[in-house]
Amino acid sequence: MATGRTHRPATRGRGIPEATVARLPLYLRALTALSERSVPTVSSEELAAAAGVNSAKLRKDFSYLGSYGTRGVGYDVEYLVYQISRELGLTQDWPVVIVGIGNLGAALANYGGFASRGFRVAALLDADAGLAGRLVAGLPVRHIDELEAIVADNQVSIGVIATPAGAAQEVTDRLVAAGVTSILNFAPTVLSVPDGVDVRKVDLSIELQILAFHEQRKAGEERQDPDGDVPAVMPA
């Protein structure tokens, strides 16, 4: 019965479709660039080009937020930056913990784009006692046993997992038990979490395999017909 209620019907509530939510950060990035160049307004056409999407889609996306454009003119850049930021919840601070400070975890800790948008690294955690106390990106690595206390003290609701795959589920369970309700998983494993906890995954290996599929397909079509279907009428 648990699988029955799994996929929530998009983002009903006030009703911003999931696909739209996924594009808002893209728009925000493009708008921020315009804002830095002191551009006052932008049309859906221009902004769509900058974000790499269809302009009708962009307008429909914005229509879910309300009517923030002016016909004949376009959108006010600053106002839109604010509205999208607010909608995404970026006007508040989000404390984040990173678990697993190896190659990847250290790179993530050093990532500047992290802090720039309301995400603050509250702590770096690792099971390796030898790492404890070492400074990474200016922060001391704390032992994993401190997880529960750190999450509680800092009201952390977002956790990033960069441990080996074998440890990911265990770390997840501890994070969730401690109160974390959003997880970004870099380990190549399927995580089980209770209802109400969101998991998003970043999987390099999967991305490469998808590219390989299309690559193989291109190589195949190259010496066959470009439609890739039936060989039809071979020339001679």
Distance (Å, whole) CA 236 – CA 143: 71
Query: Considering the rule CB under 7 A, would residue 13 count as an interface residue with DNA?
Result: no
Residue 105 annotated as part of some ligand binding site: yes
Count of helix runs (H) and strand runs (E) in the chain: 9, 10
The residues pairing with 178 across neighbouring beta strands, listed in sequence order, are none
Interface with DNA (CB under 7 A), residue from 1, 9, 230, 231: 9
Footprint on residues 69-98 left by DNA (CB under 7 A)? 69-75
Instruction: Provide the token pair at 122.
Output: 């509250």
The reply, when asked if residue 103 is annotated as ligand binding, is yes
Rounded to whole angstroms, the Cα distance separating 202 from 188 reads 8
Shortest spacing between CB 55 and DNA, in angstroms: 7
Please give the DSSP secondary-structure letter assigned to residue 2.
Answer: G
Cβ closer to a copy of itself: 48 or 77?
A: 48
124 is in an annotated binding site: no
Instruction: Give contact residues for ligand NAD (rule: CB under 6 A).
Output: 99-105, 107-108, 110-111, 113, 125-128, 144, 162-165, 167, 170-171, 186-188, 204
Q: Which does 209 bind (CB under 5 to 8 A by kind): DNA, ligand NAD, a copy of itself, none?
A: a copy of itself
> Which strands form 198-201's sheet, in the order they lie side by side?
135-136, 139-143, 119-126, 94-99, 158-161, 182-185, 198-201
Count Cβ atoms within 10 A of the Cβ of residue 71 and give its class: 0-12 exposed, 13-18 middle, 19 or more buried: exposed
Identified binder of a copy of itself from the candidate list 17, 50, 82, 139, rule CB under 8 A: 50
- Pattern 23-52, DNA, x by CB under 7 A: --------------------xxx-------
C-alpha distances out from residue 97 to 127, 152, 190, Å = 14, 12, 20
Pick one of 33, 39, 40, 54: the residue that binds DNA (CB under 7 A): 54
Residues forming the annotated binding site for NAD(+)? 100-105
Chain contacts with DNA (rule: CB under 7 A) = 3-4, 6-7, 9-10, 17-20, 43-45, 53-57, 59-60, 62-63, 67-75
